[in-house]
Every structure is written in C-alpha cells, then in structure tokens.
A and B are shown apart, each in its own frame.
Chain A
Amino acid sequence: MSEIAGVSAGGVLSVAAALFIIGMVGIMVRRDLLYVLMSLEIMINAAALAFVVAAARWRQPDGQVMVIFILVAAAAEVGVGLSLVLRLYHRFATVDGDRISSLKG
C-alpha cells in the first residue's frame, strides 16, 4: 500500500457503511422495540460520520452543519419513538415488536 497523507477517506467511509449495516442488522434481528430504536441511533450516527468525512474532504463547514441537523432530527425521533414505546407497553404490557401485528394478512 502506498503512503497516504492523512486518514484514508474511503476507509472511514467504509467504517461508516459498516456501522450503518450493523444498525440495519440490529433492526432486522432484535424483537425488543428498544433495541430497534438503539439500532436506529447507530444508523443515524453512521450517516453523521459520513457527513463529517465529507466536510473534512472539502474542508468546508457544511458537513458539520448537517451533523447539527441530524442531531435535531434524531432528538425529535427519539422523543416521539420512546413515547410510542411507552404507549405500547401501557397497552400490551410488552415491548415485543412481533406481538404488535394486528395489521397482518
């Protein structure tokens, strides 16, 4: 491998992709809704990492601005999401995602 000046952009982006995929696997595998939300957080963070890499690449602040917005969106999402989980727990006494399948068929 040749000498690269600094961090390899593709490498960090690959890490971001890997994080995203891990989060994706978490959503597909876990039944507990809280874990699903956690996996979502992982995915969101992976996107944020990708933006920061882009900011570093072009040496512009726009990537970090995007990170702020991502943060805002994640916050709102977590608030609403957790309220829903609480609601579900109140109704079904479980946080099992598979139990909530009345829309099946």
Chain B
Amino acid sequence: MTAVCYAGCAVALVCALLVVTARNAMHALLYLILMLLALALVFFTLGAPFAAVLQVVIYAGAIMVLFVFVVMMLNVAEPGQRRERLWLTSAVGIIPLGLAATLLALTIFALSSLWSEGLAMSVVGPKEVGVSLYRDYVLGIEIASLLLLAGLIAAFHLAPVPRSEVEPAEESDHE
C-alpha cells in the first residue's frame, strides 16, 4: 500500500512538471488530468476514498472538461506551439527556479520533524464524512452553495457575447 502511495505521488509530480513545461495546451491539459487521477489514487491509499472519488468525478470530470472546452474554442493549441517555443526559454526560468529551490529546501527543512512519523492506514468512510459535513460544517455548505451561485452569475455575466447569431452553450453550472 505504501508503495502504491509513493508511486502515485511520483506520477503526480512528473505530470505536474510536464504540465508546466508542455508546449501544446491540449497536451498540458491531458497531463493535468493524469495528475488529478494520480492524486486521487494517493487519496485512496491514504484512507480517504470519498475524497478520491470526488476528485475524479468533479475535478477531472467537470472542471477539466471546462478547460478543454475553452482551449478548443479559442483554438490556441496548435498555433500556440510555435508561440510557446519563443516564449518558453530557459532564461525565463532562472529567477523562478531559484525561488522554487529555496522554498522547497525551506519546506522540507520545516517538515523534517514529520519525516519519521508514519500514517496508519485507517479508512475514513463517506458516512463519517457526511455526518461531519452536515453536523459540524453545515454553515460551510451554505457558504459553498452561495459561492457556486456567485460563480455562476459571474460566469454568465462575464462570458463574451459572440457576434454570430448562434449562441453556444456557455454556462458552466453544476452542483
């Protein structure tokens, strides 16, 4: 089980790197979806099956689909490749990589006390999560739904109106 967990983490890291360095937007999206699936696996091995399922269904299933729609609509994937070759040079990355290395070193140093702590593989099932959600965090649910409503209205309002008569299905709604 622990090996599976580490393997998932490794895949997630690799995919994340590939997302950041991909030249084709579609490829990057696919890598992103792969990363999400790997993370779902990690969640599962850490004893959070409900979180894993939600990750797959909602994140990879709905949010990424949204991304894909937009990328295809803007048609930036193909012509973007040439562009990205220009934009993504190694010179750009010097300062960010420096910062990244510093922060990584700092974080690992800060977490050094936790390295030896082991996680017992106990599963926290959906029932427990539901009970906790609707008992302790019911206010959070309300706020979350308000947030979604706000996002809905904002998306509806901000999306551009195309010049042609055909109105594509723009709304991104889900609950």
Contact = CB atoms under 8 A, between A and B. Distances in A.
A-B complex is real:
yes
B76 to A, nearest CB: 6
Contacts of B100: 21-22, 24-25
A75 interface: yes
B46 to A, nearest CB: 4
Interface residues of B, number: 90
Tell me what chain B mostly uses at the interface: helix, strand, loop, or mixed: helix
B85 to A, nearest CB: 12
Interface of B: 1-2, 5-6, 9, 12-13, 16-17, 19-20, 25, 28-29, 32, 35-36, 39, 42-43, 45-48, 50-51, 54-55, 58-59, 62-63, 66-67, 70-71, 73-74, 76, 80, 83-84, 87-88, 92-93, 95-97, 99-100, 103-104, 107-108, 111-122, 124, 128-129, 131-133, 136-137, 140, 144, 147-148, 150-152, 154-155, 157-160, 172, 174
A67 B154 CA distance: 23
A22 B144 contact: no
Contacts of A100: none
A14 B67 contact: no
B168 to A, nearest CB: 11
Given A8-B115, A29-B96, A83-B158, A14 B51 contact: no
